Amino acid sequence: MVFPVVFRVAQFCLLAQIILAPLLLGGARPWAMGILSVLTGIGILALCAKMPIHIPRYLRVIWLIAGLVAGWMIVQSLPIWPMQAAPFNADHIALFPTAWHSTVADILWFIATLTLASLLAHKDPHSFIKQVCITTACAATLQVGLAALDQIAGWQTTFWFTKTAHIGDWTGSFANRNAFATVMIFGLLASLYCFARTPGFSAAKRIDQKGGWLAIAVICGVALLQSHSRSGVAIALVSIIVFGWIYVLASNVALTRWRIVSGILITSGWVGACALLVIFAFPEIGPRFADLSRLDLIQRDDAWASGVYAVMARPITGYGPGSIALVLGHFATPGLNANANWFSSHNIWLDGAITLGLPMMACLVLATLFAGFKIWRGLGTPPQKALFGTITTIFVLSASVDWIITLPALILPIGLVWAGCSQVGARRHREGHGPSGFAAQSGTRDQAVWP
């Protein structure tokens, strides 16, 4: 009985972070990262003490890539380079030579958490993915409760400090409405997965037995609209469409021309109906999108242009961690508000190129694409493919318009789903459903591996 107890302890240390990270202001503060790191460490030590550890090959590759990134950040900070041009007069590439300490610590936490997730998912990846989705839905529901309590009481607080921005918007325990909106999207997606994951049910029986998940999805959707997040609303609509289409296309249904046309019409009608519902039920959403035409309010295009200029000035080496605010201030376009603290260009791809340089960023993107392709080939059920494809879509879209997806509270569910899905492919290979690696080559869906 010792090992099951240890396994449960490690599982608790991992899943508790999904709920704790949003409560800790997104988990980005050093003290919050300390709490999350301690939980990850306890979980890994507990498993290592009571079971033989087999590290999958893909995890070794991830640790290698993380080591290369950390090593490059250290090299950027060393005083071994020719003197940089003004105004960055220094003999090192990194504008802030000690900023790599916290960045490497964050990377170490994330990779260690992925390692813990992979060890826990090794035995039963289907159950692991289900537990991650249930916990994510619970975390989103808790945030809805906090946001509703704040709205009813009129506190205008994050439950840590009084809000100075996003007054009147639902943010829960976050200080940013886009972060809250992303958690709501995760809760909505997790609820849809829990609703659709069991095969062989008729529509009526599925609604009768699992209709509560649809109710949670609706609650998360309404809370998302109350956040008044433009990117959140847009990404949520795209995510639901992607989930539905992948689920249908992966179900081995004969796709006749009529089915394709009717699917497009139904999807278009659904999007139109949702847009009309949002406009009439939440009239404050319309002006938010109308504000996109106001150049005095929207400055992300200027931030992106400034970031492109910065990358063009130093495309190979980058500027090192913690340098984005200084770099954007130096390369700011005339329309950019220089008085604002532009710690991000509101585009993760640009941020990565500014920090690491284009070659290192390109290697990271290509490695992620390759890993995603391998994981996708190893998945065997439509719900898992829909979940994996949709959560990847959420990451790509969110990373293209904002920085908040890098918060521990938001990157954690994505990483856990990827870890669980990778173990699904590994298990299919062990059971003989795939000839190599963890990518199943057979095009025939095995009903035995449905969760």
Query: Span 264-278, mean pLDDT?
Result: 72
pLDDT digits (tens, 9 = 90+) for 83-135: 775 567 778 889 999 999 999 999 999 999 999 999 999 889 999 999 999 99
pLDDT digits (tens, 9 = 90+) for 356-408: 999 999 999 999 999 999 999 999 889 999 999 999 999 999 999 999 999 99
pLDDT digits (tens, 9 = 90+) for 37-46: 999 999 999 9
The more confident residue out of 221 and 203 is: 221
* b/e burial code for range 63-102 (CB count within 10 A of at least 16 → b): bebbeebbebbebbbeeeeeebeeebeeebbbbbbebbee
Query: Span 174-195, mean pLDDT?
Result: 96
Whether residue 87 is preceded by a cis peptide bond, meaning omega within 30 degrees of 0, is yes
pLDDT beyond 90 at 430: no
pLDDT beyond 70 at 261: no
State the Cα–Cα distance between residues 399 and 407, nearest whole angstrom. Answer: 11
Task: Take residue 292 and report the two structure tokens written for it.
Answer: 């996109």
* Total residues found in the chain within this entry: 451
pLDDT beyond 60 at 238: yes
The per-residue pLDDT for 366 is 96
CA distances from residue 17 to 48, 106, 131, 159 in whole angstroms, order as listed:
20, 14, 13, 18
Task: Take residue 129 and report the two structure tokens written for it.
Answer: 């993915």
State the Cα–Cα distance between residues 381 and 110, nearest whole angstrom. Answer: 27
State the Cα–Cα distance between residues 35 and 228, nearest whole angstrom. Answer: 31
Query: Span 169-186, mean pLDDT?
Result: 96
The more confident residue out of 145 and 294 is: 145
pLDDT digits (tens, 9 = 90+) for 63-81: 999 999 999 999 999 988 8
Residue given tokens 């990779």 in the structure block: 111
Task: Return the closest-CA partner of residue 320 out of 271, 360, 266.
Answer: 360
DSSP 84-104: PPTTS--SSS-SSTTTHHHHH
The more confident residue out of 228 and 260 is: 228
Determine the 3-state secondary structure of 290 from DSSP: helix
The per-residue pLDDT for 337 is 82
CA angle 220, 135, 209 (to 5 degrees): 70
pTM: 0.90
pLDDT digits (tens, 9 = 90+) for 431-446: 665 544 444 333 444 4
